[in-house]
Amino acid sequence: MMKSNEILSLREVSKSFSATERGGEPIQILDSVNLTLQSATSIAITGKSGSGKSTLLQISAGLLSLDKGVVLFDQKNLTDLKDDQLSKIRSKSMGFIFQSSLLLDDFTALENVQIPAMIAGVSEKLAKERALELLEQVGLSNRLTHKSDQLSGGERQRVAIARSLVNRPLVLFADEPTGSLDERNAAVIEDMLLDLVQEKQVALMLITHNNAFASRCSHVYHLHDRHVEVFA
Amino acid sequence: MSTPLIHMLVTRKLGIQGTWASKKRILFNVLLISIVVGALVFAQMFVVSMSNGIANKYALLGNGHIQIHENQETEITVGEYISDMQFVAQAFALVYSPTKNQMVRLKGVGPTYFNEQRLGELTLLDTELVSDGSTLPQVLISTSLANLLCVGQGDRIALMMINNNTLRPQLVIIKNLYDSGYKELDEQLVFCDYSLMERLFSNKADTYYELLVDDDKIETVKSSLQSQGLSVTSWDEENYSVATNLNTSKQAVLGVMLVVAVLCGYFISELSREMIEDDKHKIAMLKLLGAKDSLIRRVYFTTVMLVTVLSVVLGTSIGIFMGMNLGNLLSLLAKQSIPALSFYLLDFVIVIPYMEIALILLVLLIVGALSILWSLRRVHKIDLLSCTHFD
Encode chain A (232 residues) as per-residue pLDDT tens digits. 556 688 999 999 999 887 665 567 788 889 889 999 998 899 999 988 888 898 999 999 999 989 999 999 998 999 899 999 999 999 999 999 988 878 988 899 999 999 999 999 999 999 999 999 999 988 899 999 999 889 998 899 999 999 999 999 999 999 988 887 888 888 888 888 888 888 888 999 999 988 889 999 999 999 888 888 776 5
Distances (CA, A) of A226 to A34, A36, A55, A215: 11, 17, 11, 22
pLDDT in tens, B373-382: 999 998 998 8
Q: Which pTM value belongs to this model? A: 0.79
> Minimal Cα distance from A99: which residue of B?
B389
The answer to whether B121 touches B61, Cβ cutoff 8 Å, is: yes
pLDDT at position B124, please? 81
Contact yes or no for A99 and B389 at CB 8 A = yes
* Nearest by Cα to A121 from B324, B289, B147, B299: B289
What range does the domain containing A13 cover?
6-230
Tell me the CATH number at A99. Answer: 3.40.50.300
Interface of B with A in 52-81 (CB under 8 A): none
pLDDT at position A7, please? 92
pLDDT at position A99, please? 84
- Non-local CB neighbours of A135 within 8 Å, separated by 6+ positions: A109, A110, A113, A141, A143, A144, A159, A162
End-to-end CA distance of chain A: 25
The answer to whether A46 touches A223, Cβ cutoff 8 Å, is: yes
Count, residues in chain B? 391
What dihedral angle (degrees, nearest 10) is formed by the CA atoms of A215, A186, B287, A65?
-30
Mean model confidence pLDDT for chain B: 86
**Contacting residues of A for B292, CB less than 8 Å apart:** 83-84, 87-88
Nearest to B8 among A89, A111, A121 (CB): A111
**Contacting residues of B for A92, CB less than 8 Å apart:** 290
Identify the segments of chain B with pLDDT beneath 50.
Answer: 390-391
What dihedral angle (degrees, nearest 10) is formed by the CA atoms of A131, A133, A136, A141?
60
Q: How far apart are the CA of B264 and the nearest CA of chain A, in angstroms?
A: 29
pLDDT at position A170, please? 93
pLDDT at position B339, please? 62
| B8 interfaces chain A, CB cutoff of 8 Å | yes
| B289 interfaces chain A, CB cutoff of 8 Å | yes
> Choosing among B5, B14, B286, B391, which should be mutated to test the A contact, i.e. which has the most A CBs within 10 A?
B391
The answer to whether B174 touches B150, Cβ cutoff 8 Å, is: no
Contact yes or no for A105 and B293 at CB 8 A = no
| B21 interfaces chain A, CB cutoff of 8 Å | no
Instruction: Provide the 3-class DSSP secondary structure of residue B342.
Output: coil
Distance CA A92, CA B284 (A): 17
| B5 interfaces chain A, CB cutoff of 8 Å | yes
- The structural domains of chain B, with segments of one domain joined by +, span 3-55+244-387, 70-230
Q: Decide if A196 is inside a domain.
A: yes
Contact yes or no for B391 and A83 at CB 8 A = no
pLDDT at position B75, please? 76
E strand segments, chain A: 6-17, 27-38, 42-47, 68-73, 76-77, 94-97, 171-175, 203-207, 219-224, 227-230
Q: Decide if A115 is inside a domain.
A: yes
Q: Decide if A1 is inside a domain.
A: no
Q: How far apart are the CA of A115 and the nearest CA of chain B, in angstroms?
A: 7
Q: How far apart are the CA of A130 and the nearest CA of chain B, in angstroms?
A: 15
> Choosing among A17, A54, A104, A165, which should be mutated to test the B contact, i.e. which has the most B CBs within 10 A?
A104
Q: How many domains does chain A have?
A: 1
